[in-house]
Structure 1
Amino acid sequence: MAQSFGQTEINWDKLDKTRFYVVGAGLFTGVSVALYPISVVKTRLQVATKDAVERSVFSVVKGLLKTDGVPGLYRGFGTVITGAIPARIIFLSTLETTKVAAFRMLEPFRLSETTQAAIANGVAGMTSSIFAQSVFVPIDVVSQKLMVQGYSGHAQYSGGLDVARKVLRSDGIRGLYRGFGLSVMTYSPSSAVWWASYGSSQRVIWRFLGHDTKYDEHTPSLQKIMLVQAMGGIIAGASSSCITTPLDTIKTRLQVMGHENKMSIKQVAKDLINEDGWKGFYRGFGPRFFSMSAWGTSMILTYEYLKRVCAKDE
């Protein structure tokens, strides 16, 4: 199982699981606090109508700060954090266990290390994303409605519970899972591309830096390991955002619509084309690109640091 990278990677069976989940909850909450405003801006840009005044990153940020101050950049944050902890536990547990199983299954095929890493990480990323969506989609629906409330004609709410109550009253439990299929179609390939790019790019970068299969003789320094991991996160975020932004734009629009304005995927796509042409599918691409690259880099450095902190003493 890609043993040449054994000194830079910590496997699932080497982790103290309790410490991993408790410390991880705190670390990832901190990362979310730092990057959440980007999600708010991205979501608002994606749902903006043709007549909306605020249709640029600057104007959206300025409008939020003018009406609500800094708290405006954190609309829906409490809801996201509440749901993110169980979703993150499901995601990371599935990711690590599936990755180990995938590497074992690929061993008989004698693939190159880079290919093996890309496939195993990609399969693990897709599988973990599918499992996590069962928790994350309802949180996504509620938080996005809070993010866009009062913007471009969207309804106002008193909080996350108010959103959930009104959605359940109008659409039942299906309302909280609106866009679930599209979320799976968006986030599962996105997660697969992200983790495949991350796993394979690290190995390419290590070889470029002159490290081959003889890690046992020359262990990279911690600073070099973190630099390679950060570069891998940037490459993975860039690759993923380019591929999945169109689906994310359609999904976001579907999830924030009110009961009286329900539309099909086809209708949403036609509206985007009528308003902005094909570039309408890439509404909010700048913030999404930055968000996925910044989140990816921050997340992977946090994640790898978390694994080092939670590694069992030999």
Structure 2
Amino acid sequence: MAASNARTQSFGQTEINWDKLDKTKFYVVGAGLFTGVTVALYPVSVVKTRLQVASKDAAERNAFSVIRGLLRTDGIPGLYKGFGTVITGAVPARIIFLTALETTKVAAFKMVEPLKLSEPTQAAVANGLGGMTASLFSQAVFVPIDVVSQKLMVQGYSGHAKYNGGLDVVRKVLRTDGIWGLYRGFGLSVMTYSPSSAVWWASYGSSQRFIWRILDNGNSEKAPGEGKIMLVQAAGGIIAGATASCITTPLDTIKTRLQVMGHERGHNARQVIKSLIKDEGWKGFYRGLGPRFFSMSAWGTSMILTYEYLSMDYNIHFLRSAYVPKNDRFE
């Protein structure tokens, strides 16, 4: 019985022992892998951003028409507008995020352990706190990247200004609004990404534990293979991405429009909300939901597989250590 309980508690166990983690692999290899994921999914972010800031009478009102328009006018490079800015800031931002995530999760698990919560609930709370804290720390780097890259993504589209690269965006924003112009929408970014990150990691942590319980039901006599582990992690990533995108898209739409149009048209958050409601009603807050849903689910799945790969050696050892031969178990 003791071994059976240990096995049940280990299902979906992905909390990394920070002291034993290979930091070189985590940061150096991880930076390369996350860059690859960003390259693959970046066009979806461009499409989502354009849909969110399109004027009411814009000709391109769905994802396919946006893609066709970009390919027609700019070719494949059009799908990567602002990519240089994003990839330059992605590495330090990702390091900050992952470091804060892992250290906070370890502390959060210790904090909630005395509460004797169910394992999925415990995982949801600890992962949620870790995701929220990591997002708060990383916004100092992410927000300026967002402001610059999103302006480049929509330049010349639906009446938006054109720029000569990221430095030109920075110069014009600083000239118009000062340093705070690069942090336009910071409050909304925190309100969007912190809950989104919390929901994502909470959903991921609890859903994969739930999946493990369904798959095993306490009857498995041997440790799961790496393929099975990765499938469960991927399923957890999809569920987490879908949940987070549905809950936080309205705030993301407001934030994106404010960051792109704010200094050009004198908009604030209240005016953006009024404009959306006036033009399209409440459904306007869900502009770009399809691409965002796909992006968060696809990014979540690929990101979590990359993330778990970086800690796979430790996790596989932890999972398999919970399984002992039948003759050694205490029934």
The residue number in structure 1 matching 2:113 is 107
What amino acid sits opposite 1:274 in the alignment? K
Q: Does 1:125 align with 2:131?
A: yes
What amino acid sits opposite 2:87 in the alignment? I
Give 1:229's match in structure 2, choosing from 219, 223, 233. 233
The gaps in structure 1 that reach 5 residues or longer are none
Indicate conservation of the 8 Å contact 2:96/2:138, yes or no.
yes
Counterparts of 1:26-105 in structure 2, within 5 Å, are 26-105=32-111
Distance 1:309 1:219, change over 3 A: closer
What amino acid sits opposite 2:182 in the alignment? L
Question: How far did 1:12 drift?
Answer: 1.9
The residue number in structure 2 matching 1:300 is 304
Give 1:168's match in structure 2, choosing from 165, 169, 174. 174
What amino acid sits opposite 1:62 in the alignment? R
Give 1:181's match in structure 2, choosing from 152, 177, 187. 187
Distance 1:153 1:7, change over 3 A: closer
Deviations 1:97-142 (A, max 9, x none): 0000000011111111111000000000000000000100000000
The residue number in structure 2 matching 1:204 is 210
Q: Does 1:151 align with 2:150?
A: no
Question: How far did 1:7 drift?
Answer: 8.2
The residue number in structure 1 matching 2:246 is 242
What amino acid sits opposite 1:227 in the alignment? L
TM-score (norm 1): 0.95
The gaps in structure 2 that reach 5 residues or longer are 1-5, 319-331
Q: Does 1:255 align with 2:259?
A: yes
The residue number in structure 1 matching 2:10 is 5
Give 1:288's match in structure 2, choosing from 282, 289, 292. 292
Question: How far did 1:218 drift?
Answer: 2.5
Indicate conservation of the 8 Å contact 1:40/1:147, yes or no.
yes
Q: Which has the larger radius of gyration?
A: 2
Give % identity.
76
Deviations 1:281-313 (A, max 9, x none): 0000000001110110110011101222688x9
Indicate conservation of the 8 Å contact 2:54/2:158, yes or no.
yes
Question: How far did 1:8 drift?
Answer: 4.9
d(CA) in 1 for partners of 2:313, 2:141: 27
d(CA) in 2 for partners of 1:71, 1:107: 50
Indicate conservation of the 8 Å contact 1:123/1:192, yes or no.
yes
How many residue pairs get aligned? The number is 311
d(CA) in 1 for partners of 2:168, 2:313: 39
What amino acid sits opposite 1:5 in the alignment? S
CA RMSD of aligned residues (A): 2.0
Distance 1:54 1:124, change over 3 A: same
What amino acid sits opposite 1:295 in the alignment? W
What amino acid sits opposite 1:45 in the alignment? L
TM-score (norm 2): 0.90
d(CA) in 2 for partners of 1:78, 1:28: 15
- Give the secondary-structure state (helix, strand or coil) at the position aligned to 1:31: helix
Question: How far did 1:273 drift?
Answer: 1.1
Aligned structure 1 segments of 4 or more residues deviating by more than 3 angstroms: none
d(CA) in 2 for partners of 1:99, 1:288: 26
d(CA) in 2 for partners of 1:244, 1:258: 20
- Give the secondary-structure state (helix, strand or coil) at the position aligned to 1:218: coil
d(CA) in 2 for partners of 1:146, 1:73: 11
Give 2:269's match in structure 1, choosing from 258, 262, 265. 265
Question: How far did 1:274 drift?
Answer: 1.2
- Give the secondary-structure state (helix, strand or coil) at the position aligned to 1:224: helix
d(CA) in 2 for partners of 1:260, 1:242: 29
Indicate conservation of the 8 Å contact 2:241/2:293, yes or no.
yes
Deviations 1:171-216 (A, max 9, x none): 011000000000000000000000000000011000000254x88x
